[in-house]
Structure 1
């Protein structure tokens, strides 16, 4: 499943990517969608009009408390354990969760 991505979501994602560039994060592709990687590890990505983040337990629970957020299922019928989908309506939280995801992936 490859949901469409709006221009607004792409713009918000680009801002997050620019904010992590100095930390060595690069753009790539995962599940046919844009993603952010450090080395070969995925930190976050776009999925439709939402961003997905790989988060440790406490930040993951905080993310899931946001309206519209949910465990991330890329369309295989099963959520990915550490991943959370945060909708465009919550884009103001994307930079924070991207930073937390980067810290987590680097561990």
Structure 2
């Protein structure tokens, strides 16, 4: 399934919890409470998991995962992890985790 379709499914699933699709840096993003918590960049979905948290370390350990660098200028966001579509089965879990972290 294409990344855009997976993104749309996650957005629909999280809508009852106040999440909605929007934009961040010209890319598709998921937002809630006025903050972005996920951002789609090509075949990567990045999640704001909080640097130093167990979820951040777990996500970063996935093969191909990396710190999210939306500009491509080697200035990654340390709280965000970009997970490749090869691990799309894990995207809903990390989307929920990132959404949950907004409440804290």
Shorter-chain TM-score tier? over 0.9
> Any idea what the Cα deviations from partners look like across 1:46-65, whole Å, max 9, x if unmatched?
01111000003110000011
State the partner residue of 2:55.
Answer: 59
Query: Of residues 31, 40, 43 in structure 2, which corresponds to 1:37?
Result: 31
Question: Is residue 2:89 matched to residue 1:92?
Answer: yes
Higher strand share: 2
- The gaps in structure 2 that reach 5 residues or longer are none
Please give the root-mean-square deviation of Cα atoms over the aligned residues, in Å: 1.1
SS of 2:9's partner is helix
Query: TM-score with structure 2 length normalisation?
Result: 0.92
**Number of aligned residues:** 101
- The gaps in structure 1 that reach 5 residues or longer are 1-6
Query: TM-score with structure 1 length normalisation?
Result: 0.90
